Amino acid sequence: MNTRLVLIPLTRPWGPEVTDIRVIEVVVVDDTGARGHGFSWTPTIGGSAVQALIDADLGPFARGRPAEPSWWNAAWEHLHEAGGAGVTTIALAGLDLALWDLVAQRAGRGLAETLGRRHPSLPTYGSGVNLHYSLDELVAQANRWVEAGYSGVKVKVGKPDLAEDIDRLRAVREIIGPRRDLMVDANQRWDLDRAVQAVSAFEPFEIAWLEEPLRAEDLAGHRELKRRTGVRIAVGENIHTLSRFEEYLDAGAADVLQPNIIRVGGITPALGIARRVQQAGAELAFHLLPELSAQVAFAGEKPTRIEIVEDARFEELGALTGPSGLVVLHGTVSGGPGVGLGLQFR
């Protein structure tokens, strides 16, 4: 198993500390010489640590095992002394994706078809890391989302002055009109009292969900926010294990669950999380990485919306050796690679 750290500059930085994406490419070779290509991913922070964990601990453990993802849990247990989630699950994702790529290549099909494709296309929503945008820049972005045909858009909130958040949401709602969903994402910036205040202030804008209002670890706080306000709460990008997702579901603390396929450890655990979320009657909305998440969602039991962050897709950033086969057009995503995972990096 070989790894390579790839630095991909962002066209629109996500903030002063996030100006690039770190991709850890993982290549596995089976006993016939066939190669599977996977990857792990972080926004700037932690890429080198992930690569080191793969090279020093996961690679030696994987050597000689079946070239398929059936032993994911054994690999997770092997890395557990370094932590049950976080860097460990991000590292596991690179191997898991590479093994799924091999499985799909042997079948001569794309990943979605290998998993059992149920949906020819899925709806998308426009998203952006835009809290640092000026109001004019935010309005221009909202206009681009409308022109792209998205049925919903997501805006960052969490300005020091709540009145500024209100002004920004009012401007976006005026641009997108009453029929498009407006989601807001606080990125864990608030405490409970501030979140309750914000929910009340945002009522005129009829938000579809409030994402990560509190620290993701604060299950009790999310449950209490739900009790006090009734707002639809979305969490998941910073939840890394099935057991943690189940805790949120069992507590009734979230309505929308957003697993990031890399952060939860790859396709294998993501399939189990997605199934559990949809069986519980909650909304599933994979976080980021549409070139990957759409392929998994095409095989989901129920259709789900795919997040499209402006100027952040691998193809838009010129990071891939060839087209992914994914088609994002008129508010939907369709297509996918003809064979395998279809994601190899320059």
Residues with catalytic function: 156, 287
User: Could you tell me the CA-to-CA distances from 67 to 34, 35, 185, 257, 266 in Å, in that order?
Assistant: 10, 10, 39, 31, 15
Tokens of 262: 């890399």
SS3 assignment, position 239: coil
CA distance linking residue 19 with residue 227, whole number of Å: 38
Closest alpha carbon to 125 in 340, 304, 343, 258: 304
CA distance linking residue 74 with residue 79, whole number of Å: 9
CA distance linking residue 336 with residue 203, whole number of Å: 39
SS3 assignment, position 332: strand
Tokens of 135: 């109001």
Q: What are phi and psi of 210, to 5 degrees?
A: -110, 115
SS3 assignment, position 283: strand
Please, are residues 250 and 224 in contact by the beta-carbon 8 Å criterion? no
Tokens of 182: 């407006």
In the beta sheet, which residues pair with residue 27?
Answer: 2, 37
